[in-house]
Amino acid sequence: MQQQNIPIGTLVDMYKRGEMRLPEIQRHYVWRATRVRDLLDSLYRGYPSGSILMWETDEPIPTRDFAIAQESTAFAGRKLLLDGQQRLTSLTAVLNGEPVSVKGRKKPIDILFNLEHPEGPPSDGTDVESDEDSPVTPDDEIADDNEEAEDGEQGIQEKLSRRTFVVASRNLLSQPQWVSVSEVFRTANDAELLERAGIESFKDPRFQKYSDRLKKLRAVRHYQYVVHVLERAMSYEEVTEIFVRVNSLGAKLRSSDLALAQMTSRWPNLLKQLEAFQEECEQSWFTIDLGQLVRAIVVFATQQCLFRSVASTPVEKLKEGWEQAKEGLRFAINFLRTNAGIEDESLLSSPMFIHALAAVSRIKDNKLTAVEQRALLHWLLVANARGRYSRGSTETLLNEDLAILFRGGGVTSLMDPVKRQFGRLHVEPGDLAGRGVNSPLFSLAYLALKAGGAKDWYSGLGLSLTHQGKLHFIQWHHVIPKSLLKAQGYETGEINEIANMAFITGQTNRRISNKEATGYLADVVAKQGEDALSSQCVPIDPALWDTARYRDFLSLRREQLAARMNAFIKDKAGL
């Protein structure tokens, strides 16, 4: 195996010229802009950031397109990128100022550089992101955790000023100390950038500092990656095994990614079929991860959900499983949207639910009695709210439910394991104590309030995760502002309880910011009526809006939310 040290600038040029290609065993581009921000910060500081793995071959290997368009070249396909796709795609996007294609849409990655960043090591720790996107959090810097709007604009700006790189926003770009990273790499002339930053002469004490920092940023092009190149003599099967082992040992890919690699090495162009089905699901506002599509194939090919059988399952059986999976998943999405009111996958406490619903569809051949329909809906709402697949071994629990279905236990039998797992099925006020947005009950709260007619407090828009325009995206909002509760000494878990959350649009959330609840809630009642609050189970007694009465507020709202949740499940399931 050869080893070379290649500068980032050269790798980006190879990427754009089409000298390297992406084998079909690779997953698609998945990085969020905040991860690109952190990569740039590491490179700027000279931190280690991994290595690159390629395979140089003349074999006609099935490939897929990168997330950024490449030029045609006579050397296309000779170098296949096995490890480093996310980094090189991100760097190509930023250094060349090109958008990436994600789920069929062009998406720019615009990172800003702080000319006034503090000296020394980074002051903020690196965020560890969830594998699943939040239903309400946009991928931008200011709304990283969807709470910062309530800390006030000044607090946000102070936090961002301590960072060297941030995800761009219109507000930051208008400030002189922030410059676009892509713009820095587009030119070697600092004059325009410095002038925009307010530097009018060489005598300005900031001139040398800013010039040195821009030079250091451009030096990222010269950062060298160690590139390992596998031998031409290796077969595609052996290279796939290396790919699986590298990513298994490094824990860089999930088991579903490795299973997909094993499938595609024996099933050419599978990835294109999976991505075409993903696009179909997107038309119904459902994003199904490739890993879940792979699991669906396994479920219908083997009647269980573990990936360990993929390598030994004949390709023809996998293909039959895929045909069954597509029909089952279509039913699952339609049932979730129309029967349960679950608009997209983000309202599921686990994506595993789609497999159980898909299995019901195929086993029953889409012929469910009225009793079975009600039983399936009741099971879904209760199991989702309780976190059926969110505790312990999710695969073991899903296999338990699949065994019931595939062995003829029937839809009505699905509730038995839930009863054994949780004891009671209804929600009690105490269940909400200390439970925040990561609790399965959070989605149930949203569904129950939406069904009860909750609306945005300023625009009057009903709740929906499919609203058009970023201003109207639904966010969760601390009814009693977080910053005020912090100042009073309340613990984080108590501040971030579901019972302190309401659902409003992003624009309304920013308008309210960290205003005293006694003031802004009175304004809401005056303009929208008391129903605007009661529909969100917010107490209408003004005395309870006082920060000093926060625990009384929580106690009453827990009771009202629990009652609303139980009534929602009962009404939906026709009990």
Structural domain contains residue 242: no
Give percent of the chain with pLDDT exceeding 90: 58
Q: Which has the higher per-residue pLDDT, 422 or 473?
A: 422
Q: Over range 121-140, report the average pLDDT.
A: 48
Q: Over range 81-92, report the average pLDDT.
A: 93
**In this predicted structure, which of 73-77, 136-140, 336-340 has the lowest mean pLDDT?**
136-140
Of the residues 371, 403, 425, the one at which a domain ends:
425
- Are residue 415 and residue 443 in the same domain, yes or no? no
pLDDT at 572 over 80: yes
- Are residue 559 and residue 438 in the same domain, yes or no? yes
Give the per-residue pLDDT at 187: 87
Q: Which has the higher per-residue pLDDT, 233 or 387?
A: 387
CA distance 127 to 377: 37
Helix (H, G, I), strand (E, B), or coil: what is residue 504?
Answer: strand
CA distance 195 to 7: 30
Helix (H, G, I), strand (E, B), or coil: what is residue 86?
Answer: helix
Give the per-residue pLDDT at 174: 83
pLDDT at 375 over 60: yes
pLDDT at 131 over 70: no
Q: Which domain holds residue 60?
A: 2-117+163-222
Of the residues 385, 406, 425, the one at which a domain ends:
425
- The residues facing 113 across adjacent strands are 165, 179
Q: Over range 444-471, report the average pLDDT.
A: 82
- Are residue 365 and residue 472 in the same domain, yes or no? no
Domain count within the chain: 3
Give the per-residue pLDDT at 94: 95
Helix (H, G, I), strand (E, B), or coil: what is residue 178?
Answer: strand
- pLDDT tens figures, 432-442: 999 998 899 99
- Are residue 420 and residue 521 in the same domain, yes or no? no
- Are residue 399 and residue 436 in the same domain, yes or no? no
Structural domain contains residue 137: no
Q: Is the pTM of this model over 0.85?
A: no
pLDDT at 76 over 70: no
Q: Over range 252-265, report the average pLDDT.
A: 79
- pLDDT tens figures, 1-53: 688 999 999 999 999 998 899 888 887 888 889 999 999 999 999 999 989 99
Q: Over range 210-227, report the average pLDDT.
A: 95
- Are residue 281 and residue 320 in the same domain, yes or no? yes
- Are residue 301 and residue 271 in the same domain, yes or no? yes
Give the per-residue pLDDT at 545: 95
pLDDT at 73 over 70: no
Structural domain contains residue 392: yes
Q: What are the structure tokens assigned to 176, written together?
A: 């002189």
Give the per-residue pLDDT at 133: 42
Which residue shows structure tokens 């009793």? 371
Give the per-residue pLDDT at 470: 54
Structural domain contains residue 44: yes
Residue 334, C-beta contacts closer than 8 angstroms, at least 6 positions apart: 284
- pLDDT tens figures, 289-305: 889 999 999 999 999 99
Structural domain contains residue 138: no
CA distance 214 to 194: 10
Would you say 480 and 500 are in contact if contact means Cβ atoms under 8 Å apart? Answer: yes
Buried (b) or exposed (e) across 407-431, using 16+ Cβ within 10 A? eeeebbebbebbeeeeeebebebeb
Q: Over range 429-458, report the average pLDDT.
A: 92
- Are residue 404 and residue 368 in the same domain, yes or no? yes
The DSSP annotation for 384-419 comes to HHHTTTSSS-HHHHHHHHHHHHHTT--GGGGHHHHH
- Are residue 416 and residue 460 in the same domain, yes or no? no
Q: What are the structure tokens assigned to 170, written together?
A: 């219109």
The DSSP annotation for 311-326 comes to TTS-HHHHHHHHHHHH
Structural domain contains residue 147: no
Give the per-residue pLDDT at 507: 82
Give the per-residue pLDDT at 10: 95
Structural domain contains residue 139: no
Tell me the pLDDT band of 481, cut-offs 50, 70 and 90: very high
The DSSP annotation for 240-296 comes to HHHHHHHHHHTT-S-HHHHHHHHHHTTSTTHHHHHHHHHHHHHTTT----HHHHHHH
H helices of 103-169, in order, are 153-161
- Are residue 289 and residue 204 in the same domain, yes or no? no
Order of all β-strands in the sheet with 224-230: 2-7, 224-230, 52-56, 79-83, 20-23, 63-64
Give the per-residue pLDDT at 172: 84
- Are residue 282 and residue 259 in the same domain, yes or no? yes
- pLDDT tens figures, 114-130: 999 998 887 665 543 43
Give percent of the chain with pLDDT exceeding 70: 90
- The residues facing 56 across adjacent strands are 79
Of the residues 425, 451, 473, the one at which a domain ends:
425
CA distance 112 to 184: 10
Q: What are the structure tokens assigned to 114, written together?
A: 């702080």
Structural domain contains residue 309: yes
- Are residue 411 and residue 439 in the same domain, yes or no? no
Give the per-residue pLDDT at 284: 83
